[in-house]
């Protein structure tokens, strides 16, 4: 594998990118389009190698990697290349009649030199999805992949320069010292995906330079299931969400809040679908992955060993292989792993209270119900980055909607246009024609009673009456 980037090289990489950005090389749309198509080629032509790297790092099945990482990068890079002119076109602005001659427009410009810090759990899409946004925006970029996925990180550093302009896009390899060095530098935007603890460190470092951030932080993503749901389908879809990447996913269903009346049927359905997914057991299946590290495995094993809940399905462990079977536990809460807790509640109101009390701004809130009134109640009485009814994870497949967190689950949005938008700033432009001068007389000294009356005309307009509505119970 490739060695870590020397610490002394990191400032030099940064300076070189800043000088390169000032040459204007990234501005032409034809240049950006070529880089986007090259990124698509990188993903497509190296599919097998990328899948193998991620298998070595995470033990993940090929289909999961192709479905969740390789295919989206190819597809979305191509869409970006196609949409560049539409996204970057100056927008004409409708203004008041007396200002129409000023020709106001809003332009989107690249922020400059940006930093992308990616995690280990989905190392490809979480490094290259921000990258296609930066390319489309016209930025230079440094990608800092996680050292916990070393095979992918090393492959990226060796192979990406064969496709993209290496004087504009660089990969920095390393652990905490290298990340610390990177964060000492001034960036024009930082895109970080990971946890809240590290996000606070990054935010503090960014604040020294007033650097804007996008933070994709995950957090608890609870599932509410009421008695109107199709229990078998709900269990199947929730379990599918949980077994993806061994539950090591920022939008994994973390725990289930189920109405008490359906608990036995729901638990039985989970056990049945687990057998269907893995007829010979998850350990023997090529469709199931492994825990990323011994440290993570030890933590999850300890939680499972000390649980006060009842293991209703799964529970098998093989320490030397970091194998943990998908495990359903009744009346126990845990996150980020293949452990799926189920807690009973009396009704949806109790579930909503639990989410609001125990989950600090979920990245995604899942709910299985067929009642439109219940959907509205959940939407009106909870806060989360996203909401998905009657499925899990699958909203990540939608290209047209923004995805991101709120509060503890982060801020900023991504996917296609929203990834592009992260790395641009809007620049308002107006052009005052000289013939407009005849309208500007009242703004110039000496001020007079007449000019004051002209400038304060809005203050003489009546404000509509309003009445404070009574609070609804």
Instruction: Convert the pLDDT of each residue in 407-435 to its tens digit.
Output: 999 999 999 999 999 999 999 999 999 99
Q: Please indicate whether residue 246 is annotated as part of the active site.
A: no
Mean per-residue pLDDT over the chain, rounded: 94
| pLDDT tens-digit map of 198-212 | 999 999 999 999 999
- Give the position of tokens 């007033």: 210
Per-residue confidence at 336, pLDDT binned at 50, 70, 90? low
Confidence (pLDDT) at 379? 97
Answer whether residue 332 shows pLDDT above 90: no
Per-residue confidence at 398, pLDDT binned at 50, 70, 90? very high
Q: Which of 69, 250, 259, 421 is catalytic?
A: 250
- Answer yes or no: are the C-beta atoms of 164 and 42 closer than 8 Å: yes
Answer whether residue 333 shows pLDDT above 80: no
List the single range of 29-33, 304-308, 391-395 with lowest mean pLDDT.
Answer: 304-308
Q: Which is it for the CA torsion 128, 396, 71, 249, positive or negative?
A: positive
Answer whether residue 71 shows pLDDT above 80: yes
Would you call 342 helix, strand, or coil by DSSP? strand
Confidence (pLDDT) at 350? 97
Per-residue confidence at 300, pLDDT binned at 50, 70, 90? confident
Instruction: Give the pair of three-digit tokens for residue 314.
Output: 């799964």
Per-residue confidence at 1, pLDDT binned at 50, 70, 90? low
Q: How many residues does the chain have?
A: 473
Confidence (pLDDT) at 319? 86
- Give the position of tokens 């969740």: 68
Answer whether residue 67 shows pLDDT above 80: yes
Confidence (pLDDT) at 45? 98
Answer whether residue 335 shows pLDDT above 70: no
What's the rounded mean pLDDT across residues 235-243? Answer: 96
From the list 315, 124, 338, 125, the residue with the least C-alpha distance to 246 is: 338
Answer whether residue 279 shows pLDDT above 90: yes
Per-residue confidence at 148, pLDDT binned at 50, 70, 90? very high
Q: Please indicate whether residue 216 is annotated as part of the active site.
A: yes
What's the rounded mean pLDDT across residues 241-257? Answer: 93
Answer whether residue 98 shows pLDDT above 90: no
Distance CA 234, CA 218 (A): 22
Of all residues in the chain, the percent with pLDDT exceeding 70 is: 98
Instruction: Give the pair of three-digit tokens for residue 368.
Output: 């299985």
Q: Which position has the higher pLDDT, 128 or 296? A: 128
Q: Which of 64, 216, 259, 421 is catalytic?
A: 216
Does 422 sit behind a cis peptide bond, omega within 30 degrees of 0 on the bond before it? no
Per-residue confidence at 470, pLDDT binned at 50, 70, 90? confident
Q: Which is it for the CA torsion 283, 310, 391, 50, positive or negative?
A: negative
Confidence (pLDDT) at 299? 87
Per-residue confidence at 308, pLDDT binned at 50, 70, 90? confident
What's the rounded mean pLDDT across residues 357-368? Answer: 93
Confidence (pLDDT) at 331? 78
Confidence (pLDDT) at 334? 57
Which residues pair with residue 91 across a beta bridge? 106
Rounded to 5°, the CA angle 445-451-455 comes to 110
What's the rounded mean pLDDT across residues 290-304? Answer: 88
DSSP tag of 403: B
Distance CA 73, CA 82 (A): 14
- Answer yes or no: are the C-beta atoms of 20 and 140 closer than 8 Å: yes
Q: What are phi and psi of 278, to 5 degrees?
A: -130, 80
Per-residue confidence at 72, pLDDT binned at 50, 70, 90? very high
- Answer yes or no: are the C-beta atoms of 76 and 416 closer than 8 Å: yes
- Answer yes or no: are the C-beta atoms of 292 and 248 closer than 8 Å: yes
Q: Which position has the higher pLDDT, 473 or 28? A: 28
Whole-model pTM above 0.85? Answer: yes
């Amino acid at each position: 594998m490739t060695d870590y980037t020397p610490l002394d090289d990191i400032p030099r990489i940064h300076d070189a990118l800043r000088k390169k950005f000032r040459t204007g090389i990234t501005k032409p749309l034809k240049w950006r389009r070529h880089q986007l198509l090259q990124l698509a080629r990188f993903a497509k032509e190296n599919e097998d190698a990328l899948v193998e790297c991620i298998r070595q790092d995470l033990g993940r099945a090929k289909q999961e990697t192709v479905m969740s990482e390789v295919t989206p990068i190819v597809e979305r890079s191509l869409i970006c290349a196609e949409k560049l002119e539409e996204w970057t076109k100056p927008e004409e602005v409708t203004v008041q009649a007396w200002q129409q001659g000023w020709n106001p427009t809003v332009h989107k410009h690249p922020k400059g030199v940006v930093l992308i810090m990616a995690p280990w759990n989905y190392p490809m899409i979480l490094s290259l999805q921000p990258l296609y946004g930066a390319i489309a925006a016209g930025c230079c970029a440094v990608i800092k992949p996680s050292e916990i996925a070393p095979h992918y990180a090393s492959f990226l550093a060796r192979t990406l320069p064969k496709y993209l302009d290496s004087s504009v896009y660089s990969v920095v390899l390393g652990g905490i010292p290298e990340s610390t060095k990177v964060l000492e530098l001034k960036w024009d935007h930082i895109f970080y995906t990971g946890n809240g603890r590290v996000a606070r460190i990054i935010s503090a470092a960014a604040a020294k330079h007033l650097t804007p951030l996008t933070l994709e932080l995950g957090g608890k993503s609870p599932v509410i299931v009421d008695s109107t749901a199709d229990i078998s389908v709900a269990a199947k879809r929730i379990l599918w969400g949980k077994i993806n990447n061994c539950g090591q996913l920022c939008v994994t269903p973390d725990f289930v809040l189920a109405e008490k009346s359906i608990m036995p049927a729901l638990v039985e359905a989970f056990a049945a679908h687990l057998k269907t997914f893995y007829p010979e057991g998850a350990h023997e299946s090529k469709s199931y992955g492994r825990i990323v590290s011994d440290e993570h495995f030890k933590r999850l094993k300890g939680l499972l060993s000390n649980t006060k809940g009842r293991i209703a399905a799964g529970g098998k462990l093989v320490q030397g292989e970091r194998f943990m079977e998908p495990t359903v536990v009744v009346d126990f809460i845990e996150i980020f792993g293949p452990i799926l807790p189920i807690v009973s509640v009396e009704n949806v109101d109790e579930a909503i209270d639990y989410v609001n009390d125990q989950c600090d701004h979920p990245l995604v809130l899942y709910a299985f119900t067929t009642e439109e009134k219940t959907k509205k109640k959940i939407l009106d009485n909870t806060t989360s980055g996203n909401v998905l009814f009657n499925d899990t994870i699958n909203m990540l497949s939608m290209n047209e909607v923004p995805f991101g967190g709120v509060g503890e689950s982060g801020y900023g949005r991504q996917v296609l246009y929203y990834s592009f938008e992260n790395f641009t700033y809007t620049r308002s432009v107006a052009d005052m024609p000289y013939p407009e001068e005849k309208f500007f007389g009242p703004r110039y000294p000496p001020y007079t009673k007449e000019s004051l009356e002209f400038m304060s005309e809005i203050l003489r307009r009546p404000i509509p009456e309003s009445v404070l509505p009574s609070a609804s119970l």
